[in-house]
Structure 1
Amino acid sequence: MADHGYGVRSMVAPLRRALVVTPTTEGDFAAAGWREPEPGALLAEHATFVDLLERLGVEVVRVQAPPGLVDAVYAYDSVFVGGSGAVVLRAAKPARAGEADWLAPLVEAAGVPVVGRLEEPATADGGDLMWLEDGVLAMGRGHRTNAQGHLQLATLRRDEGVRMRHRYDLPWYLGPDAVLHLMSVVSLVSQRLAVVHRPIAPVGLLERLTEQGVTLVDVDAEEFATQGGNVLAVRPGVVVLPAGNPRVQAALEAHDVEVHTYVATELNKGDGGPTCLTRPLWRAT
């Protein structure tokens, strides 16, 4: 992959460029499954998060969510960037209808070509798509990503040599109105370390990680609820974590991980953490 300013085939390679979406404060948060946020604090927390990324050396492309698209702040989900460009996904959640079509031209304006899009009846969220290693993509199957989504993504990514044999079923958990992605239960910190919430993680995925020699750091139920299992690797061994998760933070630091935190009281109210808030455009591999 050439150094052309875009391309992603890893969860942990150095994050050079990322798109973030400044949240709207206008819309039906309750209908989208949020606990009602305080608007001023929501915007302030997001600005602090973006500033942290920039201080860590990430070039940040900022766009503003339009009124009504309250979930658009979780920029990872609507468009998926691979090595050759972006695939426009298709949301199963009604509150996210139209979000991918709104975001796709902004991703193109940031210099990432759109190379495909999912068509009905396929659905997929970016949170169910996770690079296990360079060019090896794991896909979750749950309430937000269906079998047709898997099939269409496999076809769209075949030309760039992506291996997509690793497909993992997610549990019913709290039902279709609640969010549960593959990346809700596993966050890679480096190619040898991951944070996991075992009680609802796919057994096959945990086995695969163990076979790869990945050490698993457990997040308990209390810190899982405060996005302690949602860890963004800025580069191997340097991560961003929501504040208020001291046990996960201590466990990571015991593995010599450099942990940076941000206050996320309001941002967490839509059940998304730092990986959700960030759409990587370029990870240098």
Structure 2
Amino acid sequence: MPPSVTSFTHAIARRPGDSVIHGLRVVDRGAPDLASLRREHAGYVDTLTRVGVTVEMLEPLESYPDSMFVEDPALVFREAAILLRPGAPSRRGEGAALEPSLRTLFPEVLSLPGEGHADGGDVLLTPEAVYIGLSARTDAGGAAALVRLLGSLGRRVHVVTPPAGVLHLKTACSLVEDHTLLATRALAEAALFPDLDVVVVPEGEEPVANALRVNGAVLIADGFPKTAALLARRGYDVRLLALDQVMKLDAGLSCMSLRW
């Protein structure tokens, strides 16, 4: 039996720099408090370690305020890493900055061909396929190039269109086990994943849809008690993480690490 797609032994994370307070945000709820954000990031890395992941820590990149969100400029699999081309112009150099670290950790590092754009936040891996969501950050050209690249690695790929207003595909959904998806009601009703069991986030708690299953635990943002209780009733080992400052940057749990 192949390993679960939610089982990980290694991860890459990047410490937030001082410039993170200038990070991108579609909804401006004010700049995050730097000291608090650093505590949240440290708590996230500590939790990954506690659930069995060895985390490779990278130094801050002050020239790229969003560079702590390492999932967007790259994808990683056991057999290879892929450098992407983020859709936000201010993030275009992050892949090149990440490349030397990836080359020390993976047998092969590929680059997204063409001129299109793709963010890792729009890519969801399931046991059967890789789903790419079209968004303001991932365009049709980038998705098509990524389909071809993933196909060369033997991956089956589906391109889907999330509902309007979804920043990244994984803003509105995440795997909580191999064949079970946690999703907002809008994404669930879009029926993009017919082969998955979908758990709908309770009304009013939509931001918690970006959860992260790592080995035996489901990591979710603190402050969403209905979802925490729902997942606990289904038998999941729920770990609550403080993410108030991180979420001011339109970010969540999956985007702060690359896992394999």
- TM (norm. structure 1) is 0.83
Find the aligned partners of 1:98 and 1:53 in 2 and give their Cα distance: 27
Misfit runs of 4+, over 3 Å: 30-35
Identity across the alignment (%): 29
What is the CA deviation profile of residues 23-43 of structure 1, one whole-angstrom value per residue up to 9, with x for unaligned ones?
Answer: 112266166556301111111
Structure 2 match to 1:138 = 131
- Amino acid in structure 1 at the alignment position of 2:115: P
Aligned length, in residue pairs: 258
| 1:167 aligned onto 2:149 | no
| 1:183 aligned onto 2:170 | yes
What is the CA deviation profile of residues 42-68 of structure 1, one whole-angstrom value per residue up to 9, with x for unaligned ones?
Answer: 111111111111111110011122113
Give 1:238 shift: 1.7
Distance 1:192 1:151, change over 3 A: closer
Structure 2 match to 1:249 = 228
- TM (norm. structure 2) is 0.90
- Amino acid in structure 2 at the alignment position of 1:72: S
What is the CA deviation profile of residues 162-195 of structure 1, one whole-angstrom value per residue up to 9, with x for unaligned ones?
Answer: 111x21112332xxxxx61111122111124221
Structure 2 match to 1:118 = 112
Alignment partner of 1:99 out of 94, 99, 107: 94
Structure 2 residue matching 1:252: 3-state secondary structure: helix
Find the aligned partners of 2:47 and 2:53 in 1 and give their Cα distance: 9
What is the CA deviation profile of residues 197-218 of structure 1, one whole-angstrom value per residue up to 9, with x for unaligned ones?
Answer: 0214572414342xxxx2x221
Structure 1 match to 2:18 = 25
Please give the root-mean-square deviation of Cα atoms over the aligned residues, in Å: 2.3
1:1-285 aligned at under 5 Å gives the runs 11-12=5-6, 14-26=7-19, 29=22, 33=26, 35-109=30-104, 111-134=105-128, 136-164=129-157, 166-173=158-165, 180-200=167-187, 203-209=190-196, 214=197, 216-224=198-206, 227-235=207-215, 237-280=216-259, 282=260
Distance 1:97 1:154, change over 3 A: same
Find the aligned partners of 2:153 and 2:199 in 1 and give their Cα distance: 32
- Structure 1 stretches lacking a partner, 5+ long: 3-8, 174-178
Contact 2:117/2:139 (CA < 8 Å) preserved in 1? yes
Give 1:11 shift: 4.1
- Amino acid in structure 2 at the alignment position of 1:203: A
Contact 1:27/1:68 (CA < 8 Å) preserved in 2? no
Find the aligned partners of 2:185 and 2:173 in 1 and give their Cα distance: 9
Give 1:78 shift: 0.6
- Structure 2 stretches lacking a partner, 5+ long: none
Find the aligned partners of 1:222 and 1:260 in 2 and give their Cα distance: 20
Find the aligned partners of 1:86 and 1:128 in 2 and give their Cα distance: 16
Higher relative contact order (CA 8 A, sep 6+): 1
